[in-house]
Structure 1
Amino acid sequence: MTSFRSTNSLLFFSFILVLWLSWPASGNSSTATSAPEDYIACLLDNSHPDHPISPAIFTPDNSSFTSVLRAYIRNNRFNTSATRKPFLIVTALHVSHIQASIVCARRHNMQMKIRSGGHDYEGVSYVAEVPFFILDMFNLRTIDIDIEKETAWVQTGATLGEVYYRIAEKSKVHGYPAGVCPTVGVGGHISGAGYGNLMRKYGLTVDNIEDATMVDVNGRLLDRKAMGEDLFWAISGGGGSSFGVVLSYKIKLVRVPEKVTVFRVTRSPEQNASYIGSRWQQVADKIDRDLFIRFIMDVVNNTQTGKKTARATFHGLFLGDADRLFSVLNTSFPELALKRSEVNETSWVQSVLFWTNYPIGTSEEVLLSRTPPVNSLKRKSDYVKKPISKEGLEWIWDRMAELEAPLALTFNPYGGRMAEIRSTAKPFPHRAGNLAKIQYAVNWDEQGTEAANYYIGLTRKLHMYMTRFVSANPREAFYNYKDLDLGINHNGRESYYEGRTYGIKYFVGNFNRLVEIKTRVDPDNFFRNEQSIPTLPHKK
C-alpha cells in the first residue's frame, strides 16, 4: 500500500504557487457563465505534467459516464430520467486534479458538487437544480495505519468498511468509533460529525481525529497547522464541503477487547414492549458506557389477527464478555430479560458485520464491498430530551400503524463520553441534555414521483406527530441526516437567512461561528450546496 504521509508534507506547494499567480477568482452565482468545453479546456491547461487529469474526466459522451455517475448514487429518488445530470465528472486521481477543478470552476463560474460515498440522504453531493459538475473522491482512498502510534491517515474516498478491515488486519484490539454502515464514505461521515456504537465509550467520530489535509478555495493544500484551529474545527463536524475539499483525516484508533458481545432481540406488546421501551429511556444514557443499546420502533403484521402490531427491537454492543454484560443488565436494565441464547461473543470486527445484518462468521472481506443494496428512501431526525412515557410510546405505535407504511423510528442513546465533551468543542452541539437521537426511516421500491410523494408525506406526518415528544426552540436535527424539509439555500441574496433556517437546527449555538469562519475563508461562497454554511450578508 502506498504511504499517504508523503502527500501530507505539502510537496505540491511550489506547483500550486506558480499556477495560482495566474488563477483569477470569480464571484458567486447560481448559474454557470461558461460553456462546459471551456471548463474542460481549462482543466487540461492546468493539468500537472506528472499527473495528467484527462483520465479522470468523464463527459456524457464517454461510455462510462452513466456507470460512474450511478456507482455512488445511494438513493434511487435521484436516479431517474428526470434528475438533472452533471455536465462532467472529475474522478480525482491526484491532489492536483482537485486543485485544477477548483481553480477552473472559479474561473468559469461552475457549480461544483463534492462526492465521497454518496450516502447523503438528499443527494446534495450529486444533484443540483443548476448546471453543475461532480468532483468524485472515490479513487482517493488510501489508508495508512500506524498501530504503534494508534493513529491512521485515511483519505476521504475510503469507506468505513475499508477502514475497519484495514484496522483488523493490523490488530485485534483496536477499532474506530464511526458508523455501522460500512459503505458510507469517510469524507461526508467525518466532516459531518459521525457517530457509531462506540460513541458512549469514546465519543463521536470527530472527537477522535488529530489532523486533516484539505484544498481550500485558493487551491492550497493545507494541514491542520496551515489551516489554523478555526478551520480545522469547522471541518470537524460542520461539513467539509462548505469550506473546501477535505483530502484526508488523521484518526485516533481506540482500544477494544478481543471479545465483545452483541445481541438483537425483539419484544412484542405481549412481552411488555412499551414498558421495556419506557425503561430503556430511563437507563440507556446512564448505563455502563461499555454498553450501547439501540431501540427501534416499527409495526408488523400480526400473523394471527392480520392487524398491525407494535414491535420493539433492541440492538446492542457490549465491550466485554457475556458474563459481564449480564451483570450490567441484571443491575441496570433487568426489564429487557435478555437470555444467554440471545447473545453472541465475537471479535470487534465481526460485531461490525453483525450490526450490518451479516451472520457472525461471514468473511470480513465483505467490508471491502462498495456496492450496497439501493432503493428509494427518506430520512429525518429529532432529539429526545425527556423520556417518553409508556402511554406515549403506545400512542406513537398507534399512529405508525395508521400510516400503513414501512416506517421505523430508531433511538440512539447518548450519554457517556460523548456527553462529557463541551457542546462547543466541535460544531456538533447535541451533547449533554439529550437522552437520544431519533432517525425516521422509510424505504420503498416503487418508481415515480407519486410513490415518492406518498412515502415522504407519511414520514413528514409522523415527524409532525412527534412534535410534543422532542426538542423545541429550535427543534434540533442531525447534520449527517440531511433533510431538505428543514430549508433549502438557493445561494442568492437571501443566502444567509435561508442558511440560518436549517443551520440553527443542525448546529444551534455553533452556527454563528461556522458562518464567521466561512465568511473569512470562502468570502465569495464558492463551496456551496442546498444546505451549506452561508456567508454573512454584508460580505455578499
Structure 2
Amino acid sequence: MQILAGILSLFLLAFISISGASLAHNKNDFLECLTLQFQSFNSDSDSIHTPKNASYLSIFQSTIWNLRAASNSGQKPVIIITPYYASQIQAAIYCSKKHGIQLKVRSGGHDYEGLSYISQTPFFIVDMRNLRSISIDTKKNTAWVQTGATLGELYYTISQHSKTLAFTAGVCPTVGVGGHFSGGGYGMMSRKHGIAADHIIDAKLIDAKGKILDRESMGEDLFWAIRGGGGTSFGIVVAFKVKLIVIPETVTFFNVTRTLEQNATQLVHRWQYVADKIDDNLLLRLFLRSFNSSNGKRTIGAFFTSLYLGRVDDLLPIMQQKFPELGLVKEDCTEMPWIESTLFFAGLQGESLDVLLSRTQVSTAYSKGKSDYVTQPIPEHGLKSIWKFLEDEDENRVELQFSPYGGRINDFSESEIPFPHRSGNIFMIHYAVGWAESAESPRHINWIRRLYSFMARFVSKSPRAAYLNYRDLDIGMNNIKGNTSYRQASVWGFKYFKNNFRRLVNVKKKVDPTNFFRNEQSILPM
C-alpha cells in the first residue's frame, strides 16, 4: 500500500510539473503571437506589459476599485495590453483564440465583482485606457466617446465646448464609459433625460471574428443588446456615439441632512410618495448612513442630495408644494453651472475642474454592493428595522442609497433596450458596505447579505430585480468551468434584464456562438 501511495504521489507531482510547464509554454507562445501580430500591423509592442515589465503592476492596480475582488482572485493576468489602435485589439482576439488564453476587457475597473480584471483561469487584460478620445459636435449635439474615457473626462470635455450641453450618466468621475454606458447608466439627470444607454445612437464594436462593426453593419439586434445588456458579452466596444442633452446655464444643488432626532424616519417615509412624482427637473436622491452626531450619540442620518435643472427661485415653490416637510430654504441651495455640480456629487467641491481628468484611484478598501427595486413604499416599521441594521455595523462603514425613478425613465418600454427597469419602480436601492482589512470580510459580507434577505419583503418580486452596473454574483453566476444551462443563467439573467434576457441569449447565439467573450455573468449562447 505504501509503494502504491508513493507511485501515486510521484505521478501527481509529475502531472503538476507537466501542467505547469505546459501553461508556461502556452504563455510564451501567446506573447510571441502578440508580438508578431503587432509587428504585422506596424504597431509598437510597448502596449504589451508582462509581469517582467516595471509597468505591469502599476497598470494592473491603477483601476482596481475593490480590493475584495482582487484578493479573491486565483490568478493575475499573464499579460496586460493597453492598445492605441483597433488593430491591436484584433491581434489580441486572434492570439487569444489561437492559444486559449481568456480575454478580459477593462475600461474603468469599477465592476463591483472585478470581472474585468480577475479570473480563476489563465487570462489577459485588454485595458482600454489609451482609447479615450472624445469628439464633440456642437452643431448636431452629438459626441463620439471612446470606451477607455472616464465620465469625468467626458463631462470636462463637453464643458469646454458649451455651457448648455451635457450628458446624463453617473456621478463617479473615474468610472469608465465602456462598462457604464453598456450597463445602463443612471445619473442625477435621469428623471429629466433618461439613462446614458437611452442616448446611444451608434457604436464601433470589434466582434469575436475581429471584424470592426458600426450600427449599420452590426445590425439592430446587436446594437440593441449593447445598450444596457453589457457590452462585454458580445464584443469589445471601442466607441459610442451619443446624443448630448440641452440644459440651463444655471442649475441648483442642495444637500440637506436630517437625523432621527430631526424626524428622519417620517421624512424618508414621505419621500417615497414624492420622489418619483415631483417635477421632472428635480432629482431628489437620498443617502442613509449611521454615524455619531455632535453630542457623541449614534444616530441615523438621511442626506437629501439633489439636483434641480433650473434656478433656486423656481425650485423653492416646487418643494414648498410637494415636499414642505423637508423645510428646504434658499440658504440650503447653491446655484452653479452644471459642470460644477459634478464636483459636488463626486465629493470634490472646492477642487479645480481639472480634477475630473484624474484617472488615479488606487484602492485601499474592500467592499460589497447589492441592489434592489422598490415598487411600493416601505412602511415606517420597515424603515425602523433598517435603522437597526445600520446601527449593527461599524460607524460610517455602510450606506444605503435611494435613487428615484419616474419621469423620462418611464417614457420607454421595458424592451426598448435591454435595461428593463422602467415604469412601476418608485426607486432603486444601492446597498454598500466597506472595510479596511481582508480578515474582516466574512463579518461585513454576512451583514449585507442578512440585510438583503430581510429586505425581500419590501422590494420587487418575480423576479427580484437588480441593476447590472451594481454587479452582484450572489444573485447567480455561470460555471467557471464546463457548460452552464439556460436555467442556471436565467436565475441572474432575469433579475438584471427580465424578459429581455431571452432576446439577449438569441443575439449572443448569433454573434458569438462559441462564447469567446465570457465571464461569470456574461450572456450565454444557449
Q: TM-score per shorter chain, which class?
A: over 0.9
Give 2:101's aligned amino acid: M
Match of 2:499 in 1: 509
Match of 1:535 in 2: 525
Match of 1:393 in 2: 383
Taking the TM superposition and a 5 Å limit, the aligned residue runs for 1:45-444 are 45-47=36-38, 49=40, 51-80=42-71, 83-304=74-295, 306-360=296-350, 362-372=351-361, 374=363, 375-404=365-394, 406-444=397-435
| Cα drift, residue 327 of structure 1 | 1.2
Any conservation in 2 of the 1:33–1:108 contact (CA below 8 Å)?
no
Task: Give the Cα–Cα distance (whole angstroms) in 2 for the partners of residues 125 and 521 of structure 1.
Answer: 21
Give 2:473's aligned amino acid: L
Task: Give the Cα–Cα distance (whole angstroms) in 2 for the partners of residues 307 and 122 of structure 1.
Answer: 35
Structure 2 unpaired stretches of 5+: 1-21
TM-score for both structures, normalised by structure 2: 0.93
Task: Give the Cα–Cα distance (whole angstroms) in 2 for the partners of residues 418 and 506 of structure 1.
Answer: 16
| Cα drift, residue 42 of structure 1 | 1.6
2:29 match: secondary structure = helix
Give 2:334's aligned amino acid: N
1:86 match: secondary structure = coil
2:248 match: secondary structure = coil
Task: Give the Cα–Cα distance (whole angstroms) in 2 for the partners of residues 432 and 79 of structure 1.
Answer: 37
Task: Give the Cα–Cα distance (whole angstroms) in 2 for the partners of residues 81 and 494 of structure 1.
Answer: 22
Give 2:299's aligned amino acid: T
Give 2:464's aligned amino acid: R
TM-score for both structures, normalised by structure 1: 0.90
Task: Give the Cα–Cα distance (whole angstroms) in 1 for the partners of residues 436 and 252 of structure 2.
Answer: 34
More helix by share: 2
Any conservation in 1 of the 2:399–2:432 contact (CA below 8 Å)?
yes
1:299 match: secondary structure = strand
Match of 1:478 in 2: 467
Task: Give the Cα–Cα distance (whole angstroms) in 1 for the partners of residues 74 and 64 of structure 2.
Answer: 12
Give 2:332's aligned amino acid: E
1:103 match: secondary structure = helix
Task: Give the Cα–Cα distance (whole angstroms) in 1 for the partners of residues 362 and 124 of structure 2.
Answer: 25
Any conservation in 2 of the 1:495–1:535 contact (CA below 8 Å)?
no
Q: What is the Cα-based RMSD across aligned positions, in Å? A: 1.7
| Cα drift, residue 340 of structure 1 | 1.6
Task: Give the Cα–Cα distance (whole angstroms) in 2 for the partners of residues 437 and 381 of structure 1.
Answer: 7
Task: Give the Cα–Cα distance (whole angstroms) in 2 for the partners of residues 34 and 70 of structure 1.
Answer: 26
Give 1:269's aligned amino acid: L
Task: Give the Cα–Cα distance (whole angstroms) in 2 for the partners of residues 180 and 390 of structure 1.
Answer: 29
Give 1:231's aligned amino acid: L
Give 1:317's aligned amino acid: L
Give 1:348's aligned amino acid: W
Any conservation in 2 of the 1:33–1:110 contact (CA below 8 Å)?
no
Task: Give the Cα–Cα distance (whole angstroms) in 1 for the partners of residues 483 and 104 of structure 2.
Answer: 21
Task: Provide Cα deviations, 1:303-345, integer angstroms capped at 9, x if missing partner.
Answer: 53x5532211100000000000101101111111112211100
Task: Provide Cα deviations, 1:256-276, integer angstroms capped at 9, x if missing partner.
Answer: 111100011110122211111
| Cα drift, residue 437 of structure 1 | 0.5
| Cα drift, residue 421 of structure 1 | 0.7
Task: Give the Cα–Cα distance (whole angstroms) in 2 for the partners of residues 127 and 509 of structure 1.
Answer: 29
Aligned pair 1:496/2:486, yes or no?
Answer: yes
| Cα drift, residue 220 of structure 1 | 0.3
| Cα drift, residue 127 of structure 1 | 0.2
Q: Percent identity among equivalent residues?
A: 48
Task: Provide Cα deviations, 1:11-43, integer angstroms capped at 9, x if missing partner.
Answer: xxxxxxxxxxxxxxxxxxxx9897011112222
| Cα drift, residue 391 of structure 1 | 2.6
| Cα drift, residue 92 of structure 1 | 1.0
Task: Provide Cα deviations, 1:89-134, integer angstroms capped at 9, x if missing partner.
Answer: 1111110011011111111122111100000010000000111111
Match of 1:463 in 2: 452
